[in-house]
Structure 1
Amino acid sequence: MLSLFSGAGGMDIGLEEAGFANVGCIEIDRAARDTLLKNRPDWRMLGDGDIISVSKTLTPSELGLEVGELDLLAGGPPCQPFSAAAQWAGSGRRGMRDPRARTVDATMELVRTFLPKAILMENVLGFVRGKGAAIEYLETELALIGNEHGVTYTVHWKLLNAADYGVPQNRRRVIIVALRDGAPWEWPTPTHVGRPVRAWDVLSNIPPHDRPEPTGKWAELLPSIPEGHNYQWLTSRGGGDEIFGYRTKYWNFLLKLAKDQPSWTLAASPGPSTGPFHWENRPLSVREQLRLQSFPDDWQLTGDHRTQTKQAGNATPALLAEVIGRQIALTLGEKLHLPAPRLLVERGRRQAPPSAPVWPLPSRFTSMRGPKDAHAGEGRGPAAMQLAADETGQLDLTRIE
């Protein structure tokens, strides 16, 4: 397996557990490279980590391989050009027109060089659907590569929720699998639909560790929000005092975990009010974040707390990578010797403790109580209206219904 955009190693750990040997990593971020070397000093860091430059020079022979011998090329290109959040940036979501999408070109160049038996990619939904999606480009490039070298690649993709496979986190990402020369593909069967691994199952038994303190102007509101809820509890449609307008904040604003449910999706660069927060009304520690990403406990991140949080939030859940990797291994004709994924933590049999009581509104916020305007509706918020104006030169309400 050749690892691209290796990050903190989530996909690499999972594929290692599925039986793949790592022959090299391409990762440009220094902290992430340090993390990989700290945990797996035998993994080879290739070039300067910039996939654009590495793709121009790397050859199979440098890794002890022949062309076509590599079993798996795996990695998730940076998602920013395709993310929903980018849609409301000043330039909007540009997809393959974004300069950062050159990393997708470089990925295809490595496919052309190695002709791997399988390709695995993970990304956000915008990678395959909507403005600037990359899927047509991938299919076209793989067809060209096939014509050039007398092979064929068949592309499969699906939006998966990691929680359906035992990851204690509701994290929906597109998984793309491309297989060479007609190899059959079946998606792994979900194993935890309706009975997910809960946040309580993986967070309740962590030994004493550093527990970050909440910061920011809204931190004192966390005890006034029930577990599993966000700021909308404090709107006209919630059960608490009306402090905010309904849907006027981003979803993970003051968002809290519920003990008896999987975590919400972890953020890579959270602000002081960005959840998910622990049910103890505080930010999650790095070890807790890694538990929710199904990393093994002996895996250590490098850098300060913010740098480690970025690595953890950007990672592919290791268990999901292991599940997909096992399926790819079966497709390539390997026999699996383990009956179940090694990274799986089973759901506990006991009921999680009840939620903590909700506190009254802190006194310094009581003056904010009262009716608030709700969001105007999808496409009618300030960012959407400004984007429409920027694209047309005038504010056209017919375009933003």
Structure 2
Amino acid sequence: MNEDIVAVSLFSGAGGLDIASIMAGVPVVSSTDIDSDCIQTLKANEMFKDSDIFEGDLHDIESSVFKACVEKRKANKFIIIGGAPCQPFSKAGYWVGNQTRRGINDPRATLVDEYLRVVTDILPDGFVFENVESLLHPTNKIIVEKFLEIVNDAGYTCKIVRANALDYGVSQKRKRLFILGTKSNFKSDEPKKTHCDPSLCEETGLKPYVNVGEVIQGFEGDKYFEEYEVTKGGTYYEDLCEVPPGKNYKALTAWAGYPNPKFVADKRFWSFLLKLSPDLPSWTITAQPGPWVGPFHWGNRRLRVPEIAAIQTFPKGYKFVGSRRSIQKQIGNAVPCLMGKAMIEFVKESLE
């Protein structure tokens, strides 16, 4: 089979970027991850039946393995996609003191080196690298500078894109950093945005941001009930019921003019008792939410698996394998598919 452009996926997770690549018309020839639940998730979905899927630590997988997958498909061109695990660079880490936050000294930072090793060994025609926006924070910035130096020396033109998922049709405020590279020249200034703030639609000609009520419609029935979603009887259940849709615990403070305040503003993490409004986009879906950390459904319950998957723009009916906790982590760590699609299309366009 002779294919025009294909993708090699590293740090594939549950397949967010892999699905994005398929949506962008770039078939994925190989995927890899260290997490066995993620690997089982990929294998459970029909769309990856023709992909070579490898379970293992990227440190232990030779670059030639990926090159062979591309050659087997007789592809004319190929790209590498992936986001090295980003916990050491996460903004959530700033809540921990600088003494305990390892940042750049975290051994997981070496996974960025592994991504670069595969890129410089097999020299794809382009690449998409994804990470958290705080990778540009002064503490971590040296990683970006070194990354750019290495890929520039290897002959790539790069663009750094600070993206918000909302702009690409994802019903979720989620900021991410992408480093996009091509051996050719980019044909436009940035990946194509499709959505914007409703007040700017007339001026820009783009569609309004997608509201979460529209995206998770149809999953409210008993058929999708999960034990995990139940909040009734919990420590803060009564308080959660008092929070209006679209607000957090601060609605129950003196700051908000609440009679008999239950909490003090700015003394809690902002996502404490955070509740979705059906008429607004969602906040970021996290990989490991605490017991009373949102976003919660406006019906005073936790979100269900098909709801968080829909907010991340996974295709309806996509299968996830593992415990409820593992599935939350897989979905929360994923790149929203529509956001990834815009980035891959931008790189693909430069190669055509």
**TM over 0.5, yes or no?**
yes
Cα separation, 1, equivalents of 2:186 and 2:167? 25
Among 135, 154, 157, the alignment partner of 2:144 is 135
Among 56, 60, 71, the alignment partner of 1:53 is 60
Q: Kindly tell me: are residues 89 and 284 of structure 1, through their superposed partners in 2, closer, same or farther at Cα, counting changes over 3 Å?
A: same
Q: Which has the larger radius of gyration?
A: 1
Contact kept, 8 Å, 1:155 with 1:176, in 2: the verdict is: yes
Among 299, 316, 321, the alignment partner of 2:340 is 321
Deviation digits for residues 18-52 of structure 1, max 9, x if unmatched?
11111111111111110000003332112x42111
Aligned to 2:331: 312
Bigger Cα displacement from structure 2, 316-325 vs 99-108? 316-325
User: By percentage of residues, which structure has more helix?
Assistant: 2
- Mapping 1:239-318, distance limit 5 Å: 239-240=257-258, 241-318=260-337
Among 210, 233, 236, the alignment partner of 2:225 is 210
Letter in 1 for 2:61: V
- 1:33 corresponds to 2:52: no
Contact kept, 8 Å, 2:182 with 2:351, in 1: the verdict is: no
Letter in 2 for 1:118: G
Contact kept, 8 Å, 2:310 with 2:316, in 1: the verdict is: yes
Bigger Cα displacement from structure 2, 52-61 vs 162-171? 52-61
Give how far 1:329 is off.
1.9
Aligned to 1:193: 196
Aligned to 2:202: none
User: By percentage of residues, which structure has more strand?
Assistant: 2
Aligned to 1:85: 92
Contact kept, 8 Å, 2:23 with 2:341, in 1: the verdict is: yes
Deviation digits for residues 122-171 of structure 1, max 9, x if unmatched?
11112123202221010122234x2xxxxx11221121111111101111
- Mapping 1:1-400, distance limit 5 Å: 1-39=7-45, 40-46=48-54, 48-55=55-62, 58=65, 60-64=67-71, 70-89=77-96, 91-133=99-141, 134-144=143-153, 146=154, 152-194=155-197, 195-206=208-219, 208=221, 209-211=224-226, 212-214=229-231, 216-240=234-258, 241-333=260-352
Q: Kindly tell me: are residues 311 and 60 of structure 1, through their superposed partners in 2, closer, same or farther at Cα, counting changes over 3 Å?
A: same
What secondary structure is seen at the aligned counterpart in 2 of 1:58?
A: helix
Letter in 2 for 1:54: I
Contact kept, 8 Å, 1:153 with 1:182, in 2: the verdict is: no
Contact kept, 8 Å, 1:166 with 1:196, in 2: the verdict is: yes
Give how far 1:95 is off.
3.4
Letter in 2 for 1:141: I
Query: Where does the alignment leave 5 or more consecutive residues of structure 2 unmatched?
Result: 1-6, 198-207
Letter in 1 for 2:107: P
Cα separation, 2, equivalents of 1:268 and 1:307? 9
Contact kept, 8 Å, 2:89 with 2:135, in 1: the verdict is: yes
Contact kept, 8 Å, 2:168 with 2:195, in 1: the verdict is: yes
Bigger Cα displacement from structure 2, 92-101 vs 279-288? 92-101
Cα separation, 2, equivalents of 1:170 and 1:236? 27
Q: Kindly tell me: are residues 20 and 41 of structure 1, through their superposed partners in 2, closer, same or farther at Cα, counting changes over 3 Å?
A: same
Q: TM-score, normalised by structure 2?
A: 0.87
Question: Aligned residue pairs: how many?
Answer: 326
Q: Percent identity?
A: 35
Aligned to 1:339: none
